[in-house]
A and B are shown apart, each in its own frame.
Chain A
């Protein structure tokens, strides 16, 4: 018989469930994702660090897991919550069941949870902290633990997921680690990579598919730890700077904001998700926490230049407040059609743009893939994107 488990939220609401993978107790922010496919990409997405993830689609495990559909080297969610786990993968690429995958990673997976009730609760009450346990079944005690848990606000989660060492991304994988600690010859560093443009990627928890999409466009990629100094970046003489997605409260990652500020206008820059929030702050804006975030693969975003709508993949709990950016040279390029929040920024004078959502998809639609072309164009011309 499966282990009984209990999820308690900080407001005292509890949800009974049972473990299908792992055991133990974990505290984290609780969030939900509305995508109907792509659970493997989701659980390996570093942006979910510090969160336990519930899928709103009730049947999970259907197609197993495989070595290709990973967005980082590890399972990143604190725990994985589903309605029904199907322990019989049916897909020609599947190499391991989801249960084995989570077991290997030591991550707790629970099923039998009324994920719709949980989703409604978070939608109505807003995001909150929770504790999931197979050990402690006492609602009061778990609720207290949830209240006492640190949560996300003001905490820098990037430092836990960024790469320890710089590395070269090549042929779709982490190719080799690089040493930039002392003096280095930029030319020589880039030389082994194939491609036209040299792109330095600041890793705040970068999703592999961003690297795959950039590489497929013919870019040479060196991935750098989040705290890499502006000087080091400039010494690399990159054609472009990419600022990645990542977990947690963007306001707590001040050192990256400082780096971006420093580099503004010096290198054509493209940011995604947390990268967008870094740029937003570097341009003088503030970020705020959304009530329950945007997580899914069906978020409509309008490109304000063309008024065309793209269906986007999203995963963010914080948002840049467009009102707080005074700079008249900064324009809002994309907006979320569901709640009208800011989805994209560009600079009229500097080669700089960023989006809150995920053009690299994985999981999700490919509608926004053109943004990687835009980045390439910007490197080609060195001109502002708008």
Chain B
């Protein structure tokens, strides 16, 4: 069945900001889909609030609405665009839920718009626990015993019937938000109330526990003709009980016989048909009882997913692209397999390697949260590794995780035998209760001599995996036998070719080998090459070499044949950012993708290196060549050795490639753009001071401490409060504002280990200063252009990644903006920046301070590009390769006539007990952009996009710290004028009364009941403004913020944001509804 002729214009809904469980995999899927539809000559309308996505690049879709993804806004877009159809299956759970809500308004019938790929009925059938259960019964499949409950009494009653332990699963939520495992009635009460609140439909399922069962997933595709194929099977190393997003997973399934696999395949196909997914990809999860093979269906997602992205990367089969084409009428047999070209997409990929995905967590960012993995997803990113053995893939994955480990063990990071964790009782607990480091504890337990049976009993991890891990542990034991003795400094000479090769086949890194024989990785590398033990590359080709593959998508392994195909032409290598983490996410991948696009435009071959399966950069379509490899010195040097590129781009992928820049340069790699020395000049305190002195620029008083004593001395010299942080970090890791000596001592004692190698930076903290971010590009012809000046909403002290910002600045004077631009020019020129640079400024008492200069791509590059309509990362790439800004036509500065507001999005709801307070340590996972010609509306849209629903009427709760009281008067007065009722705690109430503003007093939590939290829980408050200090899960302030967060209420924690909010509410009330405009229209105005 060829393409439908009646579809000309299709709307795709994106997934919005990056949040835990919904990350850049949906940009990957969405981008593929947009490209696929455009390729077919269709007009594509896109709604996505996330500016850091490739899919929202103005040249991707025809009409790109960077607007909040709410049913109301989507309806506005539908009215404006009148597409023929909505394709709801590409924007994750957000896209699916929003489409469903839009459909329920009846607008689709009214406007004659069709929902393609999955109808409302299908979505409901797959997502509603009750309907799904019924559907499974219809086809003779079993789901775990369960009951659907809509209130807590029903939950408790159901528990009596089913028995403990129980799994609580809320309906219509992402990544299992609000779910968990309950072992007793108390647990159950707590988890289920949370789940009921989190569910869109106030519905939770109480389910028979299949804890410890083996967990599998199948990625399925179906077309209109009812052809169904399985793209990939995935087996979770972590058994049931850990969310699949938090599990180490392996493709393909390892421990199923064909007979069992085919039963699962038949079930998945039957489920596709019964649920009725008409076209596209779905994901089906199964649990299997290891004792008897009993199979139960856990869930199915009738859309592309994180797993489908993983399956695409694991097999080379582009699920989202195919899903888009199937949605418009094609069938699988009509679509060519891009990789083999001569065969069709109607087949099942087969792979001849092993893929391991390992999640990456950020518990350290959320003090008070427990490092325990459950059915609610908590990881913020993941890495994927490919090897010819599971052992190789596992160890490659662990070093690709970039948590400082060079493999599973034997890298110098193992605990010592006397460490507390290795004491039997502790170790047992670390094995029994799933946690972010469990894989390492499994290895340590085996190393300690714990039997495999015992480890299996404690972890329920399948013995096959334990056997493989045991082989790694055993071999590492052999390596230890080689360690130097007597007079020998190292025993490198003991490493013979056979041992090296065996080590490599098990994925050991040169660093691990170096550690074993008492030398460095460079020495190991040299000897290894001398012995002829060298890496080879193999292709990911969907077909296990049965057909010739045309797409150069490689992974390394140690085999006899190397399939890499280095060309003779010009080529440049781009180092990606590795697994997403807080502080280094999609924004950097966006830049890497643009680098590849720019190289293509210049006719230069692009070689992408990355290990993150969620990204657009690891789509084999993005660059000319893709190396799916860990971003370590060893792995990158191997690629350089094979490809011999003319240059490496390291300034786009965030801190990961930047940290590799110096070692790679020392090893002779040609680094493009700003020389690594300039990076050092900007990072090194003393050199940076000299630089600013030379340019006559100001920075807050500061110093560098290598000991506690020194830190105290510096702080007292420059005066409290001070900002303290370790050097060379991204995302404000362990950064704090310290108000007195006691707090400083505490920080030095607990947060960091200061030393000569790892100094602590101490800066004077500028209270209530306005912070400004600048992105600029400098060329090699003396040209510098400021791409964008962004004024932060929150005052200095909130990490720039966590604060909202406005482009162009909304309160700064022309003169100040000019001063900022001049300073940026001077810095770029003096540092010799070639490419991108980001500067953070603070303005206090009308004086301009330089906080930081980063001669690399910053997190704001995509936002600035979207706001200005100029692809700055592409510009920077071309500039790095010698073109001038003049030539590129971007020498002049562009100040848009519209306002763009970036707002950060936080994962606090995932971490119960954590204070949702903003500080100098970055904790946001993603961002949205609000764009409008009116600043207030732009801000309102940014809030809405970040799921902070600003009320149009009702009660505003205000409680501010003393320092903010003077400023809150105007704000409260404005809310009052707009018809809001003000509720305030004693102090704020008194202050407002003194200034003639009516408010009613409400009790603090510590005073009497009913108090403010009661009011919040009872739905009597519509907006919370609470700047009262006191971090951490104690006191009123925390309880107020946390209860607002848990209720999904908009809450504001800084006075500056409160001001922006009241202005936004005013703008919203003035215009009767939010209007929508595609990016393409803004740029036309700008021109």
Cβ of A328 to closest chain B Cβ, rounded Å = 27
Among B266, B343, B346, B350, the residue within 8 A (CB) of A36 is: B350
**Residues of chain A lying within 8 A (CB to CB) of residue B388:** 58, 83-84, 116
Q: Is the CB of B225 within 8 A of A307?
A: yes
A294 and chain B: residue at smallest CB distance = B546
Q: Is B354's beta carbon under 8 Å from chain A?
A: yes
**Residues of chain A lying within 8 A (CB to CB) of residue B563:** 120
Q: Is the CB of A337 within 8 A of B343?
A: yes
Q: Is the CB of B467 within 8 A of A90?
A: yes
Q: Is the CB of B257 within 8 A of A69?
A: yes
Q: Is the CB of A308 within 8 A of B226?
A: yes
Among B258, B544, B560, the residue within 8 A (CB) of A119 is: B544
How many angstroms between the C-alpha atoms of A36 and B256 in the bound complex? 10
Among A88, A120, A365, the residue within 8 A (CB) of B262 is: A365
Cβ of A221 to closest chain B Cβ, rounded Å = 21
Contact flags (1/0) for B234-277 with A, using CB distance below 8 Å? 00000000000000000011111111111001100000000000
How many angstroms between the C-alpha atoms of A311 and B269 in the bound complex? 12
Among A15, A296, A337, the residue within 8 A (CB) of B344 is: A337
**Residues of chain B lying within 8 A (CB to CB) of residue A123:** 545-548
Cβ of A41 to closest chain B Cβ, rounded Å = 6
Among A38, A114, A116, the residue within 8 A (CB) of B257 is: A38
Q: Is the CB of A338 within 8 A of B343?
A: yes
**Residues of chain B lying within 8 A (CB to CB) of residue A298:** 347-350, 543
Cβ of A276 to closest chain B Cβ, rounded Å = 21
For window 191-235 of B, CB contacts with A under 8 Å fall at 225-227, 229, 233
Among B225, B262, B344, B561, the residue within 8 A (CB) of A114 is: B561
Q: Is the CB of B290 within 8 A of A92?
A: yes
Q: Is the CB of A84 within 8 A of B257?
A: no
Interface of B is mostly: loop
Q: Is the CB of B258 within 8 A of A311?
A: no
Q: Is the CB of B560 within 8 A of A63?
A: no
Q: Is A173's beta carbon under 8 Å from chain B?
A: no
**Residues of chain A lying within 8 A (CB to CB) of residue B183:** none
Answer whether A337 and B559 are a contact pair too, CB < 8 Å, given A58-B354, A90-B462, A296-B350: no
Cβ of A338 to closest chain B Cβ, rounded Å = 5
Answer whether A117 and B561 are a contact pair too, CB < 8 Å, given A59-B389, A302-B333, A366-B262: yes
B546 and chain A: residue at smallest CB distance = A34
Q: Is the CB of B346 within 8 A of A116?
A: no
Q: Is the CB of B333 within 8 A of A311?
A: no
Among A88, A93, A114, A366, the residue within 8 A (CB) of B559 is: A114
Q: Is B910's beta carbon under 8 Å from chain A?
A: no
How many angstroms between the C-alpha atoms of A16 and B561 in the bound complex? 12
Q: Is A50's beta carbon under 8 Å from chain B?
A: no
Answer whether A363 and B333 are a contact pair too, CB < 8 Å, given A35-B350, A338-B547: no
Q: Is the CB of B467 within 8 A of A58?
A: no
Answer whether A337 and B333 are a contact pair too, CB < 8 Å, given A57-B352, A114-B559, A298-B350: yes
A114, A116, A117, A298 — which one has the most chain B CB atoms within 10 A of its CB?
A116
For window 295-343 of A, CB contacts with B under 8 Å fall at 296-300, 302, 307-309, 311, 337-338
A295 and chain B: residue at smallest CB distance = B546
Answer whether A37 and B538 are a contact pair too, CB < 8 Å, given A311-B347, A364-B262: no
Among B257, B346, B348, B350, the residue within 8 A (CB) of A91 is: B257
Q: Is the CB of B351 within 8 A of A337?
A: no
A62 and chain B: residue at smallest CB distance = B254
How many angstroms between the C-alpha atoms of A307 and B225 in the bound complex? 9
Q: Is the CB of A59 within 8 A of B254?
A: yes
Q: Is the CB of B258 within 8 A of A86?
A: no
Q: Is the CB of A117 within 8 A of B352?
A: no
Answer whether A363 and B258 are a contact pair too, CB < 8 Å, given A114-B561, A307-B225, A337-B344: yes
**Residues of chain A lying within 8 A (CB to CB) of residue B389:** 58-59, 83-84
For window 501-535 of B, CB contacts with A under 8 Å fall at none
Q: Is A137's beta carbon under 8 Å from chain B?
A: no
**Residues of chain A lying within 8 A (CB to CB) of residue B226:** 308
For window 722-738 of B, CB contacts with A under 8 Å fall at none
Among B252, B347, B462, B544, the residue within 8 A (CB) of A337 is: B347
Q: Is the CB of B255 within 8 A of A63?
A: yes
Q: Is the CB of A56 within 8 A of B344?
A: no
How many angstroms between the C-alpha atoms of A117 and B548 in the bound complex? 13
Among A62, A90, A296, A300, the residue within 8 A (CB) of B546 is: A296
Q: Is the CB of B266 within 8 A of A41?
A: no
How many angstroms between the C-alpha atoms of A116 and B386 in the bound complex? 14
Contact flags (1/0) for B11-30 with A, using CB distance below 8 Å? 00000000000000000000
Answer whether A120 and B545 are a contact pair too, CB < 8 Å, given A36-B351, A298-B347, A300-B346: yes
Q: Is B293's beta carbon under 8 Å from chain A?
A: yes
Q: Is the CB of A114 within 8 A of B560?
A: yes
B337 and chain A: residue at smallest CB distance = A338
Answer whether A115 and B352 are a contact pair too, CB < 8 Å, given A63-B256, A91-B255, A361-B262: yes
Q: Is B65's beta carbon under 8 Å from chain A?
A: no
Contact flags (1/0) for A169-212 with B, using CB distance below 8 Å? 00000000000000000000000000000000000000000000
How many angstroms between the C-alpha atoms of A91 and B291 in the bound complex? 8
Q: Is A40's beta carbon under 8 Å from chain B?
A: yes
Q: Is A66's beta carbon under 8 Å from chain B?
A: yes
A88 and chain B: residue at smallest CB distance = B467
Q: Is B441's beta carbon under 8 Å from chain A?
A: no
Contact flags (1/0) for A41-74 with B, using CB distance below 8 Å? 1000000000000001111001100101100000
Q: Is B814's beta carbon under 8 Å from chain A?
A: no
**Residues of chain B lying within 8 A (CB to CB) of residue A38:** 257-258
Q: Is the CB of A92 within 8 A of B293?
A: yes
How many angstroms between the C-alpha atoms of A324 and B891 in the bound complex? 70
**Residues of chain B lying within 8 A (CB to CB) of residue A93:** 257, 293
Contact flags (1/0) for B541-568 with A, using CB distance below 8 Å? 0011111100000000001110100000
**Residues of chain B lying within 8 A (CB to CB) of residue A102:** none
For window 328-378 of B, CB contacts with A under 8 Å fall at 331-333, 342-344, 346-354
**Residues of chain B lying within 8 A (CB to CB) of residue A338:** 342-344, 347, 547
How many angstroms between the C-alpha atoms of A68 and B332 in the bound complex? 35
Q: Is B292's beta carbon under 8 Å from chain A?
A: yes
Q: Is B463's beta carbon under 8 Å from chain A?
A: yes
How many angstroms between the C-alpha atoms of A10 and B266 in the bound complex? 42
How many angstroms between the C-alpha atoms of A254 and B353 in the bound complex? 42
**Residues of chain B lying within 8 A (CB to CB) of residue A296:** 350, 544, 546
Cβ of B369 to closest chain A Cβ, rounded Å = 34
Q: Is A362's beta carbon under 8 Å from chain B?
A: yes
Cβ of A367 to closest chain B Cβ, rounded Å = 8
How many angstroms between the C-alpha atoms of A35 and B253 in the bound complex? 12
**Residues of chain B lying within 8 A (CB to CB) of residue A66:** 257
How many angstroms between the C-alpha atoms of A104 and B353 in the bound complex? 29
**Residues of chain B lying within 8 A (CB to CB) of residue A365:** 262, 265, 348
A310 and chain B: residue at smallest CB distance = B227
For window 86-129 of A, CB contacts with B under 8 Å fall at 86, 88, 90-93, 114-117, 119-120, 123
Q: Is B939's beta carbon under 8 Å from chain A?
A: no
Among B292, B347, B560, the residue within 8 A (CB) of A92 is: B292
Closest 4 CB pairs of A and B: A38-B258, A117-B561, A363-B258, A56-B544
Name 4 extra pairs, CB < 8 A, besides A35-B350, A309-B346, A364-B258: A36-B252, A69-B257, A307-B333, A309-B227
List 27 contacting pairs A-B, 8 Å CB cutoff, sorted by A.
Answer: A37-B257, A38-B257, A56-B544, A83-B388, A83-B389, A84-B389, A86-B464, A91-B257, A91-B260, A93-B293, A116-B538, A116-B559, A117-B559, A119-B352, A119-B546, A120-B561, A123-B546, A297-B258, A298-B347, A298-B348, A300-B343, A300-B344, A309-B332, A311-B347, A337-B344, A338-B342, A363-B258
Residue ranges of B at the interface with A (Cβ–Cβ < 8 Å): 225-227, 229, 233, 252-262, 265-266, 290-293, 331-333, 342-344, 346-354, 388-390, 462-464, 467-468, 538, 543-548, 559-561, 563
Residue ranges of A at the interface with B (Cβ–Cβ < 8 Å): 15-16, 34-38, 40-41, 56-59, 62-63, 66, 68-69, 83-84, 86, 88, 90-93, 114-117, 119-120, 123, 296-300, 302, 307-309, 311, 337-338, 361-366
